[in-house]
Structure 1
Amino acid sequence: MTSLPALATRAKSGSRLTRSSKILKVITKAILDKKGEHVVSLDLRKIPEAVADFFIICEASSTTQVKAIADNVEVEVKNECGETAFHHEGHNALQWVLVDYVNVVVHVFQSETRKFYQLEEMWSDAAIEDLEEKPAPIKKRVH
């Protein structure tokens, strides 16, 4: 992971993101396209110590899926938003891959690794939103 002094000195860009920002939508879609599970967004904008505006966290069932999700996020954000990651790491072990877009940091975990690190608990002051697609309600036919 990046050292704490490095995190403290990097600057967030001047424009603040909102939950409806295009990059958040593209990241979420890229994760869901590769069947990422338990996808959540942590809104860190009201936390002064936070190094980003949002964390997007998801999990995968295998190292192959972790890689596929992280790679798809980078490809789709580049294609749809023209942004390349400021930093990424974890591609060697594929237990926890981090893709850093400065204002948005994507965390792709294997399930056991996510349980161990408990980022949602560490950032419990953040507003959390479930980003998984909900199945459309089944409409009953009226005769």
Structure 2
Amino acid sequence: MHKVIEKIDSRILAETIVEGMQEVKAKDITILDLRDIHNSVTDFFVICSGDSTTQVEGASNSIVRHTRKVLRDKPWHEEGKRNGEWVLLDYVNVVVHIFHKDVRSFYEIEDLWADAKRTDIPNLD
């Protein structure tokens, strides 16, 4: 049983999002901590990849379900669910990017935010 937290800390939200990703075996999970970057748009980016559009959609659904269950929180905004290549879930203080593996390598979002503190989460294979 998970404990419900009244005021959600952005770090706790990011970790809960990672758990939702891991439930469907999303790959190459990375957390970018943007809190020390001047004028950043959010506290954290949480990024993962899926091998197929079905896995991208499954990761998105798992994250939304898991954050709702554990923290009683839901995204403020969602983008890209129709095409399944790049889904963005905006939790305001945490922004989630779920990429199809080919699309992720094209955009290289981690390189755009190279000044951020980066944490790579090992795959659960």
TM-score w.r.t. the length of structure 1 is: 0.78
Aligned partners of 2:26 and 2:49 also within 8 Å = yes
Deviations 1:72-128 (A, max 9, x none): 100110111011101011011110000110000110000110011110000000010
Q: CA RMSD in A?
A: 1.8
Corresponding residue of 2:63: 73
The CA deviation at 1:134 is: 6.6
Structure number with greater CO (CA < 8 Å, separation at least 6) is 2
Cα distance in 1 for partners of 2:9, 2:25 equals 29
Tell me which stretches of 4 or more aligned residues in structure 1 moved more than 4 Å.
Answer: none
Partner Cα distance (2:57, 2:94) in 1? 19
Give 1:49 shift: 2.2
Q: Which runs of 5+ in 1 are unaligned?
A: 1-14, 136-143
1:49 aligned partner, one-letter code: N
Contact 1:62 1:110 in 2 (8 A): yes
Give matches, 1:1-143, under 5 Å. 17-18=10-11, 21=12, 23-132=13-122
Is 1:85–1:100's contact at 8 Å kept on the other side of the alignment? yes
Which structure carries more strand by proportion? 2
Give the TM-score taking structure 2 as reference length.
0.88
Aligned to 1:8: none
Equivalent-residue separation in structure 2 for 1:16 and 1:25 (angstroms):
10
Distance 1:105 1:133 in 2: 20
1:3 is matched with none
What is the one-letter code of the residue matched to 2:98? V
2:83 partner SS: coil
User: Does structure 1 conserve the Cα–Cα contact (< 8 Å) formed by 2:76 and 2:90?
Assistant: yes
Decide whether the 8 Å contact of 1:32 with 1:132 is kept in 2. Answer: no
Contact 1:16-1:53 at 8 Å conserved across structures: no
Amino acid of the residue matched to residue 58 of structure 1?
C
Q: CA, structure 1 residues 113+64, in 2 after alignment: closer, same or farther (shift >3 Å)?
A: same
Shift of 1:46: 0.9
